[in-house]
Amino acid sequence: MASTSSNETVTQREQSIVLEDVKLMYTIFADVPPKTKLLMLELHRDNHMEYLLRGLQQLGPSFCALDANRPWICYWILHSIALLGESIDARLEDRTIDFLSRCQDPDGGYGGGPGQMPHLATTYAAVNSLITLGDEKSLSSIDRDKIYRFLLSMKDPNGAFRMHDAGEMDVRACYTAISVASVLNILDDELVRDVGNYILSCQTYEGGISGEPGSEAHGGYTFCGLATMILINEVDRLDLATLLDWVVFRQGVEGGFQGRTNKLVDGCYSFWQGGIFALLQRFHTIIGESMTLLDAGQANCADSPQTTVESDISDGEESLHGTSSSGDEACAIQQGVNFGNVDRKSIEGRAEREPLFNSIALQRYLLLCSQDPGGGLKDKPRKGRDHYHTCYCLSGLSVSQHCWSKDEDSSPLPRVVLGPYFNLLEPINPIHNVVLERYREAQEFFARS
């Protein structure tokens, strides 16, 4: 148990406990033979599938509190299964489509359950679930005309969106609305109008993006804000240099990400923060035009800590000291790299640089500290597994495995996948967080329908 001081805050005490738990796990890992290391790093696919399928078919009484989140539970489970390269049987698929259809409001949008008020968050979850199922029956069950009218009715005169009728207005609402409109091919100028102004007003002095103007920068909202600005072709309006500055220092000494400054590591931010890097890295203009500045500044940053993939894997352990960003990226931040205009079409492009975060350290945290041997993934040691963290931990694991690939259709080299190559997950479209193949199938379907 970590030592405590009477002058420590609650967060400091909790951080000490987390560090001790992670250090113990990494120490054990460092001291075992190589074959045991490989076993410890194995993704327990069969156990995860058993846990996910059981949850999709029936949940216990304790889940009553999530009655208004049932499309989310469908998405968390279905997306996790798709990331594992698996699918559900036809009978269960039909039941899922039928349930989500009953969540679809007669006036458009999806509620948290049959007969519940339509809500942007559950609309996003339902649409992503149906795209993940992927066949014509699933995709054709979405009433795009009514969803468009629902999205338009949620738009506020200031350009932002409300989550539901008379509901809260925040960056999450903007993202879910724009993401749904984009993936369904119904995004137009009316929906886009002034959204960028609202997102811009939420970027804080730290560089991250808050949920609403005047609040604290947050990983989930930063992802949502950045993804929204990409989808509406206004990402160049953000201060991307300070945004990158903020997010690189959210990777903690444990290897995972924290959601806010001075907060604890949490497995779900493997995607919410890791996904930000995936978005930035796919842009030719960001990666290409800034390279000269990055390389020119590297000579002035000789003292910046750097870690290579090869040394990470061969050492078999991750230091619990120092910064997580590699030297040239951190140096680019110090020198204020000027990011040029980018657009959402570039998301299908090539990554031409090493990842802007320590991908091996993130994989190690997820496999050793977030994975429940009995199936499912969790926030951190001492926490319980749940479907939410299973979804976003696996999404983050996929991002960290595929972030080295120069082409999103190429498989990563074995050296960048921690543990056995069997651990490799399906690649995702990081803007919408759906498996890439399913996203492409949906784009083709909605382009012709």
Catalytic residue at 119? no
Query: What is the residue type of 159?
Result: G
Q: CA-to-CA distance for 119 and 307, rounded, in angstroms?
A: 44
Catalytic residue at 189? no
SS3 180: helix
Q: CA-to-CA distance for 126 and 95, rounded, in angstroms?
A: 14
Q: Is 419 left (phi over 0), alpha (psi -120 to 50) or beta?
A: left
Query: CA quadruple 406, 407, 413, 417: dihedral positive or negative?
Result: positive
411-426 as b/e, with b when 16 or more CB fall inside 10 Å?
ebeeebbbbeeebbbb
Tokens 């119904």 locate to: 186
H helix or E strand, kind and range, residue 428 = strand 428-429
SS3 371: strand
Tokens 């049959």 locate to: 114
Catalytic residue at 268? yes
H helix or E strand, kind and range, residue 11 = helix 10-31
CA-based nearest residue to 150, from 126, 125, 118: 118
Catalytic residue at 37? no
DSSP letter for each residue of 228-265: HHHHTT-GGGS-HHHHHHHHHTTB-TTSSBBSSTT--B
The catalytically annotated residue of 170, 328, 372, 386 is 386
The catalytically annotated residue of 105, 245, 266, 312 is 266
Catalytic residue at 266? yes
**Residue 392 phi, psi dihedral angles, 5° rounding:** -80, -25
**Residue 435 phi, psi dihedral angles, 5° rounding:** -55, 135
Do residues 393 and 268 lie in contact, with contact meaning Cβ atoms separated by under 8 Å? yes
The catalytically annotated residue of 26, 148, 221, 269 is 269
The catalytically annotated residue of 268, 301, 369, 403 is 268
163-181 as b/e, with b when 16 or more CB fall inside 10 Å?
bbeeeebbbbbbbbbbbbb
The catalytically annotated residue of 48, 79, 119, 260 is 260
Catalytic residue at 263? yes
Catalytic residue at 260? yes
Do residues 123 and 131 lie in contact, with contact meaning Cβ atoms separated by under 8 Å? no
Q: CA-to-CA distance for 295 and 337, rounded, in angstroms?
A: 11
The catalytically annotated residue of 119, 164, 250, 263 is 263
What tokens appear for 446 in the block?
């909605």
Hey, which residues are catalytic here?
218, 260, 263, 266, 268-269, 379, 386, 389
